Chain A
Amino acid sequence: MLECKITKKLGYFVLDVDIQAIDGVTALMGASGSGKSTVLRCIAGVSKPDAGRIVLGGATLFDSEKSVNLPPQKRKVGFLFQDYALFPNMTVLQNIMCGANGAKKEKRKGIAEDLAESFHITVHLSKYPHQLSGGEKQRVALARILAGMPDILMLDEPFSALDSHLRWELENELAAVFARFGKPVLYVSHNRDEVYRLCDNIVILNGGQAEVSGEKWGLFKNPETVEAARLTGCKNIVPCTVNADKIIVPEWGVALDANGETAEFIGIRANYIMSACVVDKSEVAAAFEFEIVHEIESTFTNILYVRKKDTVLPPIRWEMPKKDRAALRALPQKLALMRENLLLLRR
């Protein structure tokens, strides 16, 4: 269990977060500059918060009121840097042994060799980091961190330096590492699919604040804020106003039943828009005839930019599998927004 309630001023930027991470994987999502990396650096102890408290597994790492500030060396934090930060002057074996410091040399070597085996990098043990591929570097960096038996794993966009074809294999390996680890894992990323597959809980950071947090299914279903909706991949987010019992959405040209709910913004995911001809009418929040402004053919889907017929409203993004696109041609050009798919959002 990690509790991290800290503030830190960096020029005009103010980081003010209150994050809890239970055992299991917690994703920190946020746009660049939202403070994700700073949070990790503060927990690791390589940056110092102005005030607050960081408690990891019962041990206080930082407490401004009690003047506690453990050096990073004493925090037992496994930090995977974005570019892996392997020491270029040391071999793979020496790098991993660095992680197991404190023990006797023979024991460190044993730990390093065992980890190398489980990460399938035994053949690279005598190589230097510059002789390794990106994926191999990541495995070495992970082995090096695990050698120190940390109380928390923190990964800062672990796949950003990798080619996409390597990611899938490494992602599965990482999932296995997380499952075996059994302690809190903080995972910084802005790839929503990666986060959905690897993580249990999500914290959304926006402008230095932990805006929303929760278990992943709930958060994808109801992101609550504009930033959370955007980060979880919602492509259509527009302002709306609530008037009596109606939610008026000017950019879509529709008014919906409010049913007592309120919102500043409304969103719908691009692949949740339906053809009005194939849905249960009682669940429809709004339906209208549309025209296609622009169409993009992607690998497995078609992306349509549509708007209400005979208007000049900004287009709505609608994504569908290719076979659905073919079927749509035969249907009346009418779309439906389902009540359960609408995201009612605040700023």
Chain B
Amino acid sequence: MDLFPLYNSLRISAIATLAALIIGILTAYLVLRLPSVLKGICDTVLTIPLVLPPTVVGYFILIWLSPKSALGSKFWEWFSLTITMRWYASVIAVTIIAFPFIYRTVRGSFEAFDQNLLDAGRTLGLSETYIFGRILLPNCRQGILAGTVLAFARGLGEYGATSMVSGYIAGKTATVSTSVAYFWQINQEQAAEYWVTVNLVVSFVFMILINVFNKPKARE
């Protein structure tokens, strides 16, 4: 059996999660330092992909990045690069969809973190970069990890935006979730069933991982 869709899904989700992780942590850190009104606005805008149907995200990506669009045509002109209907279009879509999962959990653990520790670091003369990287991040790793696993799991199962921006091209853009739909549509029920099973197994493994990471911390 061809395992490309599984490989492709893992690849897309892993890259997208990494991107969302970096962007999510930095945005959470910046948003927390904003004045409260601006913080509320940013928060709403940044969390919207959580409630939007993924097809809307897909729609915007097509509008802005397809070869006929203003930005997409420039990519073609300058780099001879087409973005849509390629596997990496899914990376962009999944990054946007996975972002709020990381952003919200990370912001939550930053907020719960004892601000006195940051102030203590400052009065001890430690630089803001050191405080961020060596005090804030390590002490929030539990929350960051939980958000990462959630985002990765969400990315693996992404269908709506993925199918819009990358379509289904066997061996090129097929993912575990688009495979199920594709094989069902062309009446290959056995293949559809196979990919359903793959999805079930992968989801099961990730639910276990999520539960492991979300276990309440043992009392110190």
Cα distance A72–B127 when bound, in Å?
Answer: 10
| Those of B121-171 within 8 Å (CB) of chain A | 121-127, 130, 134-135, 138-139
Across the interface, B124 reaches (CB within 8 A) one of A71, A89, A148, namely A148
Report yes or no: B125 in contact with A81, Cβ–Cβ below 8 A.
no
Q: Whole-angstrom distance from the CB of B216 to the nearest CB of chain A?
A: 16
Is B114 engaged at the interface, CB distance under 8 Å to the other chain?
yes
Q: Which chain B positions have C-beta within 8 A of A325? A: none
Q: Whole-angstrom distance from the CB of A198 to the nearest CB of chain B?
A: 21
Report yes or no: B138 in contact with A89, Cβ–Cβ below 8 A.
yes
Contact with A along B184-220 (1 / 0, CB 8 A): 0000000000000000000000000000000000001
Q: Which chain B positions have C-beta within 8 A of A88? A: 139, 220
Contact with B along A83-124 (1 / 0, CB 8 A): 101011100000000110110000000000000000000000
Is B111 engaged at the interface, CB distance under 8 Å to the other chain?
no
Cα distance A340–B117 when bound, in Å?
Answer: 48
Report yes or no: B124 in contact with A144, Cβ–Cβ below 8 A.
yes
Q: Which chain B positions have C-beta within 8 A of A309? A: none
Which of the listed residues A83, A85, A102 has the most CB atoms from chain B within 10 Å of its own CB?
Answer: A85
Is A304 engaged at the interface, CB distance under 8 Å to the other chain?
no
Report yes or no: A44 in contact with B121, Cβ–Cβ below 8 A.
no
Which of the listed residues B116, B130, B135, B220 has the most CB atoms from chain A within 10 Å of its own CB?
Answer: B116
Closest to A80 in B: B120
Q: Whole-angstrom distance from the CB of B95 to the nearest CB of chain A?
A: 29
Cα distance A93–B84 when bound, in Å?
Answer: 54
Across the interface, B123 reaches (CB within 8 A) one of A75, A83, A130, namely A75
Closest to A77 in B: B123
Cα distance A87–B121 when bound, in Å?
Answer: 9
Is B119 engaged at the interface, CB distance under 8 Å to the other chain?
yes
Report yes or no: B125 in contact with A148, Cβ–Cβ below 8 A.
yes
How many chain A residues touch B (CB < 8 A): the figure is 27
Across the interface, B122 reaches (CB within 8 A) one of A46, A83, A89, namely A46
Report yes or no: A71 in contact with B122, Cβ–Cβ below 8 A.
yes
Q: Which chain B positions have C-beta within 8 A of A102? A: 125
Q: Whole-angstrom distance from the CB of A342 to the nearest CB of chain B?
A: 43
Is A219 engaged at the interface, CB distance under 8 Å to the other chain?
no
Cα distance A75–B123 when bound, in Å?
Answer: 7
Known: A73-B125, A98-B126, A130-B220. A79 touches B135 (CB 8 A): no
| Those of A104-153 within 8 Å (CB) of chain B | 130, 144-145, 148
Report yes or no: B120 in contact with A101, Cβ–Cβ below 8 A.
no
Q: Whole-angstrom distance from the CB of A104 to the nearest CB of chain B?
A: 15
Q: Which chain A positions have C-beta within 8 A of B134? A: 89
Is A49 engaged at the interface, CB distance under 8 Å to the other chain?
no
Q: Whole-angstrom distance from the CB of A221 to the nearest CB of chain B?
A: 36
Contact with B along A253-285 (1 / 0, CB 8 A): 000000000000000000000000000000000
Q: Which chain A positions have C-beta within 8 A of B126? A: 73, 98, 101
Report yes or no: B122 in contact with A72, Cβ–Cβ below 8 A.
yes
Ranked 7 nearest A-B pairs via Cβ:
A85-B120, A130-B220, A72-B122, A46-B119, A89-B138, A79-B123, A85-B116
Residues of chain B whose beta carbon lies under 8 Å from any beta carbon of chain A: 114, 116-117, 119-127, 130, 134-135, 138-139, 220
13 A-B pairs with C-beta separation under 8 A: A44-B122, A72-B123, A73-B122, A73-B123, A79-B120, A81-B116, A83-B114, A85-B116, A87-B117, A87-B120, A89-B134, A89-B139, A148-B124
* Further pairs besides A73-B122, A77-B123: 18, Cβ < 8 Å: A46-B122, A46-B123, A72-B122, A73-B125, A73-B126, A74-B125, A78-B123, A79-B119, A79-B120, A81-B116, A81-B119, A87-B121, A88-B139, A89-B134, A89-B138, A98-B124, A98-B126, A99-B124
